[in-house]
Amino acid sequence: MTTYIPPGKRRPQSPHLPFGDRRDTPFYGKDILSVDQFDRTALEHVFGVAHQMREMVERVGTFDLLKGKILANLFYEPSTRTSSSFLAAMERLGGSVIAINEVRYSSVAKGESLPDTVRTLEAYADVIVLRHPEVGSAALAAKHARKPVINAGDGIGEHPTQALLDLFTIVEELGQVDGLTVTMLGDLKYGRTVHSLARLLAQYDVRINYVSPETLRMPEPIIGELERRGVKQRSCNALEPALEETDVLYVTRVQKERFGDPAAYESVANCYTVTPDTLRRAKDRMIIMHPLPRVSEIALEVDDDPRAAYFRQMEYGLYVRMALLAMVLGKV
Ligand code: CP
């Protein structure tokens, strides 16, 4: 015998997500190559779905939204967070993964081209996630693939899914983006995450400070683009003048792998380290973010500060990537 439970008291047993195929949605079957594809309406959609994904993972862990779907996770460059979170995202949605994290053990080592590799993988999978050292590689792969390609970082170009999870972190942690001051610190020249994030932030009413050594400045084309879009920006060499007004301190690693000259890297390798002492002048209600991996730019002692959001940020990436996979595969 089953006990009758009035409708108002029933707990949802299934995901509070619009199940079934949604081929009328804007991202169904689409590649995700650049943050330029996301206006504020699209961002709100991603964040709404990501928030639901977070609730579902907290409530049931794994569910079958993408059961039967296969992701090819193709990484030509090292990755821990992006590759593992896409893998976890697909598995938490009930799908499965072909993981190629070591292309030297694939036919790439025999000289296979990127277009041939993606044509091969799309024969087996429904969606391809690609990280590659060359700018434009994801667009090249997408040109040759019939299935959706998601850019997981193309050299010093873009890392759109990181920028989306960065913005989602700000929304989840601070409740809004408009009105905030974001300070980007470190390697703003080679750090692709800051390039993508700055361009996404340009859709909001924000102020952006760039703090870096002279040789690692934010590229002029990005500063120029944001200027044309009316974003208030300023560049400085030291963090102190910007810290007191900062709501989001976005710290980046100096990208050793992008330097041709080891001496040039050594000259800026330890240019900034955020310590508990640095943060004494920061607001109580602010967050410290970092795309990770960290080397020496944030002292380990900062990890215990509640404002240190970088490990939470990494977790938000799982929910954003679940949302993106569900979107391009026509489920939300
Ligand atoms: N943030 C980021 O892209 O980390 P991984 O290089 O570990 O994927």
Domains of the chain: 35-158+317-328 (3.40.50.1370), 160-314 (3.40.50.1370)
Its sign, for the CA torsion 35, 287, 316, 178, is negative
Q: Which residues contact 311 (CB under 8 A, 6 or more apart)?
A: 303
Task: Match 């795309």 to its residue by tokens.
Answer: 291
Query: Ligand 1 centroid to 313 CA: how many Å?
Result: 12
- The reported pLDDT for the residue numbered 20 is 63
- The reported pLDDT for the residue numbered 230 is 97
Instruction: Quote the CA–CA distance of 122 and 194 in Å, as a whole number.
Output: 30
Count of CB atoms within 10 A of residue 62's CB?
A: 12
Query: Ligand 1 centroid to 221 CA: how many Å?
Result: 24
Report residues of the chain scoring pLDDT below 70.
1-22
In one letter, which amino acid is 162? Q
- By most ligand atoms within 8 Å of CB, the mutation choice from 250, 256, 292, 297 for ligand 1 is 292
Residue nearest to atom 6 of ligand 1 (CA): 79
Structure-token pair, residue 47: 């964040």
Residues 91-112 as b or e (16 or more Cβ within 10 Å = b): ebbebebebbbebeebebeeee
Its sign, for the CA torsion 7, 13, 18, 20, is negative
- The reported pLDDT for the residue numbered 11 is 40
- By most ligand atoms within 8 Å of CB, the mutation choice from 82, 101, 158 for ligand 1 is 82
- In the chain, how long is the greatest CA-to-CA distance? 76
In one letter, which amino acid is 191? G
Q: Taking the C-alpha atoms of 270, 83, 308 and 48 in order, what is their torsion angle to the nearest 10 degrees?
A: 140
Are residues 95 and 68 in contact, defined by beta-carbon separation less than 8 angstroms? Answer: yes
Structure-token pair, residue 204: 């909001």
Which helix H or strand E contains 71, and what residues bound it?
strand 70-75
Tell me the sheet residues that pair with 182. Answer: 208, 248
Tell me the sheet residues that pair with 250. Answer: 184, 289
DSSP conformation class of 218: P
Query: Ligand 1 centroid to 120 CA: how many Å?
Result: 25
- The reported pLDDT for the residue numbered 9 is 39
Which residues surround ligand 1 with Cβ inside 6 Å?
79-82, 153, 162, 291-293
CA atoms within 13 A on the CB side of 4: 1
Structure-token pair, residue 159: 């890392």
- The reported pLDDT for the residue numbered 12 is 39
- The reported pLDDT for the residue numbered 221 is 95
Task: Match 């193709």 to its residue by tokens.
Answer: 74
Can you list the positions of beta strands (E) in 133-244? 149-154, 181-185, 207-211, 232-236
